[in-house]
Amino acid sequence: MSEPDPPALPLDGVLVVSCEQAVAAPLATRHLADLGARVVKVERPGRGDFARDYDTVVHGLSSHFVWLNRGKESVALDLKDPDGIAALRRIVARADVFVQNFAPGAAERLGLGAEDLRREHPRLITCSVSGYGSSGPYRDAKAYDLLIQAETGLVTMTGTPEHPAKAGIPAADVGAGMYAFSGILAALYERERTGEGTALEVSLFDALSEWMGFPLTYAAGAGHAPQRAGMSHPAIAPYGTFAAGDGTEVVLAIQNEREWVRFCAEVLGDEDLASDERFATGSARVEHRPDLHAAIDAVLGTLDGEEVVARLAGAGIAHARQRDLVGDDGVLAHPQHAARDRWRTVGSPAGEVPALVPPIGLPGRPLRMGPIPDVGEHTDAVLAEFAAEAPDAR
């Protein structure tokens, strides 16, 4: 008896062609693939997407590439060769979405600019992902994630008061990838109503500038930036990491007066502390943060981690464990992931590799988590499929 077909996904039947590399564009198209789209990833012959070479820690494969490229078909094309361009144009002629993160102006020089493609295929949705956008004095500047974090001021918000630091994840790339993903979804919805595609443009600089909305708005109002505070917060206290007597690290984020009063009475066992003039208001607690931390440390240091967590939970105080990634208490073994069955394995050129279930949940319809392709693994099959010109312009 044959296996039943899997339930349809929202983007079944949508063809996405992406000339992509690194992080931002591949993240956008991986989410589209998870939701059912067919994603044809165009890579350079030989080494392919340079993110394949970032490291070799996943059975010889790059951790970035494994994260970003499951469920795609890899087609290796030399876009400096007229035959390669012709083959790509035949595939794009039948596509619903074309994504590219070429250097500025490169798509236009190849005849793959949004204006040219949409003139030929009015229903096509194009999405350009760039560092700084298609205009302005920074248009042609190199735009790696670290550089965008610096230009948008994120590094001045991250780290300790003495030392700025970049975010530990590629925040600019992730931000741009998610805006490209959501923009493509919006454009597909609009096309259902109008019959017309559109040209989207997303830049890493614009995406991360939007994510900097709080500190930029604060600076515009106050005339100076919020204080860089490490795990603390420039305007809230207690906020940050505190240690129990056995070294267990617990993160607190007490953000209203009711919670502060309960924390003093039920966790610290000192209800008078809540009305101490140094700590009676949020601004007073921030002003006297060293004294506040000393008072908290004096109590938590006499308890072990289990006692601290039990008191916090019993009082209904917002808290978290500060976890490493590995180990029995690490994020890889997080009980929330285990309880919700969030880990899967997917195929790859090096065998099965772990993958988290995507965060978008569709009841009764598991998202498509396909294998990670080798460079050019699908070239012959895809070129044969799209050997003829599309019968009708889209």
Q: Do 284 and 348 share a structural domain?
A: no
392 within domain boundaries = no
Q: What is the pLDDT of residue 227?
A: 79
- Quick check: 240 and 251 in contact, CB under 8 A? yes
- Quick check: 267 and 309 in contact, CB under 8 A? no
Q: Report residue 35 as tokens.
A: 């939701």
Q: Containing H/E element for 262?
A: helix 257-262
134 within domain boundaries = yes
Q: Do 345 and 317 share a structural domain?
A: no
> How many angstroms separate the CA atoms of 168 and 40, rounded?
30
Q: Do 282 and 250 share a structural domain?
A: yes
pLDDT band at 6 (very low <50, low <70, confident <90, very high): confident
Q: What is the mean pLDDT of residues 351-360?
A: 93
Q: What is the mean pLDDT of residues 78-87?
A: 94
pTM: 0.89
Parent domain of 100: 15-213+340-385
CATH of the domain at 89: 3.40.50.10540
Q: Do 190 and 123 share a structural domain?
A: yes
> How many angstroms separate the CA atoms of 244 and 304, rounded?
5
Mean pLDDT of the chain: 92
Q: Do 144 and 65 share a structural domain?
A: yes
pLDDT per residue as tens digits for the range 130-189: 999 988 998 989 899 999 999 999 998 888 888 888 988 999 999 999 999 999 999 999
Last residue of some domain: 321, 352, 377? 321
Q: What is the pLDDT of residue 393?
A: 46
Q: How many structural domains comprise the chain?
A: 2
Q: Do 43 and 120 share a structural domain?
A: yes
- In DSSP terms, 320 is beta-bridged to 251
330 within domain boundaries = no
Whether the pLDDT of residue 391 is over 80: the answer is no
Q: What is the pLDDT of residue 231?
A: 76
Q: Do 135 and 40 share a structural domain?
A: yes
Q: What is the mean pLDDT of residues 294-316?
A: 94
Q: Do 176 and 84 share a structural domain?
A: yes
30 within domain boundaries = yes
DSSP code at position 340: T
Q: Do 190 and 65 share a structural domain?
A: yes
Q: Do 245 and 348 share a structural domain?
A: no
**In angstroms, what CA-CA distances link 362 with 14, 49, 52, 318, 365?**
18, 31, 31, 29, 5
Task: Report the share of the chain in percent with pLDDT over 70.
Answer: 98
Q: Do 178 and 56 share a structural domain?
A: yes
39 within domain boundaries = yes
Residues 6+ apart with CB under 8 A from 336: 342
CATH of the domain at 261: 3.30.1540.10
394 within domain boundaries = no
Q: What is the pLDDT of residue 2?
A: 65
33 within domain boundaries = yes
37 within domain boundaries = yes
Length of the chain: 394
Q: Do 202 and 65 share a structural domain?
A: yes
> How many angstroms separate the CA atoms of 277 and 263, rounded?
16
